[in-house]
């Protein structure tokens, strides 16, 4: 279960962690290792330990007063949707305990199945490592998205520009898109931003840039259908990334819902080859319906590429003739 954010300040909702503590506390006898894998703000592992001790004051972290010891560590998951079982075994793992013994015990557990390198540190640094990884990617994507906006104003092909810039051996600009989704990159930076907002200005700006992208795509479509009485808009892809069926935090969902609101006279054909039904947020909209790729290509006045699924990448460009194409993923 990923740790969600809540409210306008995007604070972490730790209720699931707290509930888990309450559930396991009565069963502890001493000597157990408790590992938190969910991505969380700095200090959550220590807070979890204190919650456990609050439920069980007869236990301790250090044996003080002769009380039985529990061992608490953090090992953030590092897996890619669609490759979870493989990467659970093959990826390097960062392991940080509240004590040296907790770190060692956690390393012993993960060594039984993990072929990647086990990187040992303290709990807070382990928490920060995962947040830093995803915040770095968010900032890089924000740069790419801002670059796409600049190129659009200047009449430059952003895809060609990025390909050329990335020929430099020390440059690796990621690809622009309609926004950032998923349960990691769109969420994790907020855990750092909310912890130290005055010091996390770049990360905060990156979140603003990426969160603004769906609205920019919607405006492009609105401009493209201007003058059409009953336009048909095909939105290709609903998942948060290519070749998965995961819709969590997907900017494509936001784009499709926004198009339905902004263009009540339009029919919005949503194409998602990895799902059989629309999510509730879209199924309740009368002008949105799920359809196949072939029908969308035949009927649409405007084609909007939101996710670069394999089926979209394999479309013959000749089938696009006579239609306006807004390609947010650089497929065509």
Instruction: List the catalytic residues.
Output: 130, 184
SS (H, E, C) 92-122: CEEEEECCHHHHHHHHHHHCCCCCCCEEEEE
CB 36 within 8 A of CB 76: no
Where do we find the tokens 């065509």?
Answer: 332
Among 130, 137, 134, CA closest to 75: 130
Q: How many residues are listed for the chain in this entry?
A: 332
* 34, containing H or E segment: strand 33-36
CB 203 within 8 A of CB 139: yes
Q: What phi and psi, each to the nearest 5 degrees, are found at residue 284?
A: -80, -5
> Which tokens go with 309?
């699924």
Q: Which residues are paired to 97 by β-bridges? A: 73, 122
């Amino acid at each position: 279960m990923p740790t969600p954010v809540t409210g306008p300040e995007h604070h972490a909702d730790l209720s699931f962690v707290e509930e888990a503590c309450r559930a396991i506390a009565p069963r502890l006898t001493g000597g157990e290792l408790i590992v938190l894998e969910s991505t969380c703000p700095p200090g959550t592992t220590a807070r979890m330990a204190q919650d456990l001790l609050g439920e069980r004051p007869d236990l301790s972290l250090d044996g003080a007063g002769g009380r039985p010891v529990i061992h608490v560590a953090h090992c953030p998951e590092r897996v890619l949707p669609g490759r979870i079982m493989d990467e659970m075994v093959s990826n390097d793992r960062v392991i940080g305990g509240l004590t040296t013994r907790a770190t060692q015990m956690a390393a012993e557990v993960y060594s039984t199945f993990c072929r990647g390198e086990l990187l040992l540190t303290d709990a807070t640094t382990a928490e920060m490592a995962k947040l830093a990884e995803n915040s770095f990617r968010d900032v890089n994507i924000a740069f790419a998205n801002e670059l796409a906006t600049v190129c659009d104003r200047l009449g430059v092909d952003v895809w060609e520009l990025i390909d050329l810039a990335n020929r430099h051996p020390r440059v690796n600009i990621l690809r622009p898109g309609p926004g950032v989704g998923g349960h990691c990159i769109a969420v994790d930076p907020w855990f750092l931003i909310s912890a130290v907002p005055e010091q996390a200005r770049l990360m905060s700006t990156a979140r603003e840039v990426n969160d603004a992208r769906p609205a920019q795509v919607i405006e492009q479509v609105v401009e493209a259908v201007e003058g059409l009485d009953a336009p048909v808009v095909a939105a290709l892809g609903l998942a948060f990334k290519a070749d998965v069926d995961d819709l969590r935090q997907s900017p494509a969902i936001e784009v499709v819902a926004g198009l339905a609101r902004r263009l009540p006279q339009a029919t919005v054909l949503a194409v998602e080859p990895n799902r059989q039904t629309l999510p509730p947020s879209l199924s309740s909209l009368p002008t949105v319906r799920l359809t196949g790729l072939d029908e969308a290509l035949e009927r649409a006045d405007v084609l909007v590429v939101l996710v670069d699924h394999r089926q979209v990448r394999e479309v013959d460009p000749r089938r696009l003739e006579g239609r306006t194409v807004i390609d947010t993923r650089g497929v065509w």
